Amino acid sequence: MSMLRTRRAAVATTMLVLVASASAPPAARALDLTGTWAGRQTCTEFDGGRTMYVLEGTLEVTQSGATLGITFMSAGHEDGYVGRAVVDDGNRDRGEIVLLHCGTNDVAGDAHFDEVGRLKVSTKPAEGTGRISGTSIFSNPLPASVGSCRWSFNRVATDDPGARTICP
């Protein structure tokens, strides 16, 4: 009798798993930031006196899973960043990213430029558009300064530009 109950329980469990699998929602689409983004960084820097400036340029973003590689290009100059995307639970086309300038370390004021940022992101996959905005803070060794930048970029292309997802 106990063998029969065990077999019935196994069949019932298998049926329950099959029904649950068939009615499970489809896998959620992940936030995809890959592409080229055009815009600007509006920065304020303090080195004993305050300086404000705007850097017009493009972001080339490559995403692999949650990992981001970002190249900021402005006036013939390139800066590399790595980052991580976090998807909004309520809207899979929105989220936030953290980014680190390649070369950033844990010693503020040493011989390295350090920058870290937190940016909001939103995309419209069907239209191939999106927006990245937020703030980064930095310290610069030469001349000794600290500052912050407001980032504001709009997606202009969705092709993968091949940005490095690991700093050199």
Q: What is the CATH number of the domain that holds 58?
A: 2.40.128
Contact 99, 82 (CB under 8 A): yes
Under DSSP, the state recorded for 90 is: T
Decide if 23 is inside a domain: no
Distance CA 13, CA 15 (A): 5
Residue written as tokens 């929602």? 25
- Residue 131 structural domain: 35-157
Residue type for 49, please?
G
Decide if 101 is inside a domain: yes
Return the closest-CA partner of residue 164 out of 60, 73, 87. 60
- Residue-level pLDDT at 75: 93
Decide if 17 is inside a domain: no
Residue written as tokens 């489809």? 26
- Residue-level pLDDT at 13: 39
Total domains present in the chain: 1
Q: Residue 110 has which token pair?
A: 């040493």
CA atoms within 13 A on the CB side of 155: 23
Contact 88, 95 (CB under 8 A): yes
Return the closest-CA partner of residue 72 out of 90, 52, 57. 57
Decide if 149 is inside a domain: yes
Written as tens digits, the pLDDT of the chain (168 aa) is 454 444 444 444 333 333 333 344 444 557 999 999 999 999 999 999 999 999 999 999 999 999 999 999 999 999 999 999 999 999 999 999 999 999 999 888 788 899 999 999 999 999 999 999 999 999 999 889 999 999 999 999 999 999 999 998
- Residue-level pLDDT at 152: 98
Decide if 75 is inside a domain: yes
Decide if 5 is inside a domain: no
Distance CA 91, CA 152 (A): 21
Decide if 9 is inside a domain: no
